[in-house]
Amino acid sequence: MQDILSLNKNNCADCYKCIRDCSVKAITFANDTAEIVHSDCILCGRCYVTCPQKAKQVRNDIHLVKAAIKAGKRVVCSLAPSFIANFRIRSLSVIADALRTLGFSDVQETAIGAQLVSEEYARIMREGRQQVLISSCCPSINRLIQKFYPSMLPYLAKVLTPMEAHCKLIKEQQPDAFTVFIGPCIAKKLEGDKSPYTDAVLTFDELIDWFSAEHIELPCEHVDPLSEGAVSRLYPATGGVLKATAKVEGYRRIAIDGIDNCRGVFEELENNEFGKVFIEMSACEGSCVNGPCIRDHAERRLKGAMRVDTFSGSGETPFEIDREMNIRADYPFTGGNKQKFGSDAIRNMLYKMGKTSPEKELNCGSCGYKTCRDKAVAILEGKAKIEMCLPFLKEKAESFSDTIIHNTPTAVIVMDEHQIVQQINPSALKMFRLSDAKEMLHKHILTILDPSPYQQIVTAALYTQSSKRYLDEYGLYVDETILYDRQYHVVITLIRDVTEQEKLRVQGAEMKQQTVEIADKVIEKQMRIVQEIASLLGETTAETQIALTRLKDAMAHE
């Protein structure tokens, strides 16, 4: 199953949205990207649907079907009844014609298999084999029970899914058939990989892409209301399995959709007695009309269910099936023995996460886990990392920034656009001779500094400006950098005291000037002496004068 649902790492934005939406937490984070834990994944497709960057990818199997068609095989389509919701066409014949254009030999409705399944459910209840009967139509729910809820296995109907039942029927009727299921479900691909009856599985998304590549357009039309129709066509909408299954006296009937809702029911069943009850379960909220490979999720729950209802007609005419067929199935436990972590290990991990007391266990869910303890266990299992905790990162960032601001020798003052001070650090208090931050907080900067530079940067909408200033009142020379964040409407000034450097610079300049003046006097005196000697000797002083002048200029520029 590893290649059925995969990750495009280049698109992963490390946002944790997939882990928040994954009910079984079958996603781990390593190297700042999500990784699917295939051994735990139930292929519900929630991560595929919710990923904002489209980083999750579903395996494309069109090439398998094309190869079968090219090889001259009799390729038969088992079309999920939710097609009427996804394609918004008038009737089955419209899409059947399009599929035959692609090379399919025959197109049948999976609702035929659904009818077989419903008949088997009714038989189980009539025979009283199980007090609690959970439908086995949804492969993701089947996988959820097999992996995580072994106590529910006695309640799970030992019946093939409608896809498997229908493809088995096709194989019995047409032994040379290459069966292809087409529907909205990702988990069906794994079911097909393991099936002796289904040769290939395509999603509606794949079929749309194939139609597009072959320039086949399906008209968007209202569903043809049928005066007669098979009730098993109701399967893709919530409650459809119950409607399609004959009522059996003594059994109450409940429909549950959504993985978390189903898990809640499992917990109830583990702890309570409910008598005879038939429970329809589907992983997708809204059932198959809201499957992961239904193109328009936002409009499919109600509109899709209504189209399915119209297409099913009165439901008074069942499909004619010319043979009895064994569609019993076995669903063994496939989960492993997970490592158990003691309270000390969990407590130590919580401490590393900054959860040093129960009050700090916010259970905010930003990391994707319901509780901080669940997150701690996930870290111990290698599925998560400490940095996925938003409060932890916030506290760490605030602590880090506060440490820098409180210990830097640079004065830091944060104010709003009206120059009202919001924050001031200890270095600024010392520089401006303040004993406590309360003396400046929520007061105008005018109290200690000229506000004009800060007003100017806001008015001019600049991002930053730097200048050297002399603060006469404090006797300080400073280098000041002003930052303006327009998004958050704050002005930050960073003021560095350079008084000592300025004094040393001034002293150096004065000493240099004094040296030049002394050198100038010495040179002039020496030139007079040289001139007197030269006149006595009768020699020219031109070359000597040039040399001494150059020496003087050189000293003046040092």
Residue spans per domain, the chain: 1-59, 60-312, 342-407, 409-497, 508-556
pLDDT, tens digit (0-9, with 9 covering 90-100), for 432-488: 999 999 999 999 999 999 999 999 999 988 889 999 989 999 999 999 999 999 888
pLDDT tens, N- to C-terminus, the chain (558 residues): 558 998 888 888 777 888 888 999 998 877 778 889 999 999 999 999 988 888 899 999 999 999 999 999 999 999 999 999 999 899 999 999 999 999 999 999 999 999 999 999 999 999 988 999 999 999 999 999 999 999 999 999 999 999 999 999 999 999 999 999 999 999 999 999 999 999 999 999 999 999 999 999 998 888 877 766 789 999 999 999 999 999 999 999 999 999 999 999 999 999 888 999 999 999 999 999 999 998 765 556 788 889 898 888 876 778 888 768 899 999 999 987 777 788 888 888 888 888 888 877 887 777 778 888 888 888 888 777 777 776 766 666 666 667 778 888 999 999 999 999 999 999 999 999 999 999 999 999 999 999 999 999 999 888 899 999 899 999 999 999 999 998 889 999 999 999 988 888 878 777 777 766 776 676 677 777 767 766 665 555 555 566 656 655 655 555
Topology of the domain comprising 409-497: Beta-Lactamase (3.30.450)
In angstroms, the CA 11 to CA 395 distance is 29
* Helix pair angle (92-102, 204-213), 10° resolution: 60
Topology of the domain comprising 60-312: Rossmann fold (3.40.50)
DSSP-derived 3-state class of residue 544 = helix
In angstroms, the CA 102 to CA 9 distance is 33
DSSP class of 256: E
CA quadruple 443, 447, 453, 456: dihedral positive or negative? positive
Going from the C-alpha of 374 to that of each of 1, 147, 351, 370, the distances in angstroms are 26, 18, 14, 7
Amino acid in position 226: L
Architecture (CATH level 2) of domain 342-407: Orthogonal Bundle (1.10)
Going from the C-alpha of 358 to that of each of 231, 233, 348, the distances in angstroms are 54, 52, 13
What number of CA atoms fall less than 13 Å from residue 137's CA on the CB side?
Answer: 38
**Whole-model pTM?**
0.71
Residues 6 or more apart in contact with residue 533 via CB below 8 angstroms: none
Topology of the domain comprising 1-59: Alpha-Beta Plaits (3.30.70)
Q: How far is CA 528 from the centre of its chain?
A: 88
DSSP class of 191: H
DSSP-derived 3-state class of residue 98 = helix
Q: How high is the pLDDT of residue 288?
A: 94
In angstroms, the CA 35 to CA 55 distance is 11
Evaluate whether 60-312 and 409-497 have a shared fold: no
User: In which region does residue 226 sit, left (phi positive, over 0), alpha (psi from -120 to 50) or beta (all else)?
Assistant: beta
Q: How high is the pLDDT of residue 514?
A: 73
Q: With the CA atoms of 161, 167, 168 and 171 taken in that order, what torsion angle do they form, in degrees rounded to the nearest 10?
A: 180
Give the residues across from 495 on adjacent strands.
411, 480
DSSP-derived 3-state class of residue 20 = helix
pLDDT, tens digit (0-9, with 9 covering 90-100), for 65-97: 999 999 999 999 999 999 999 998 999 999 999
Q: How high is the pLDDT of residue 14?
A: 72
Q: How high is the pLDDT of residue 297?
A: 58
Residues 6 or more apart in contact with residue 442 via CB below 8 angstroms: 420, 421, 422
Q: How high is the pLDDT of residue 16?
A: 80
Q: How high is the pLDDT of residue 374?
A: 84
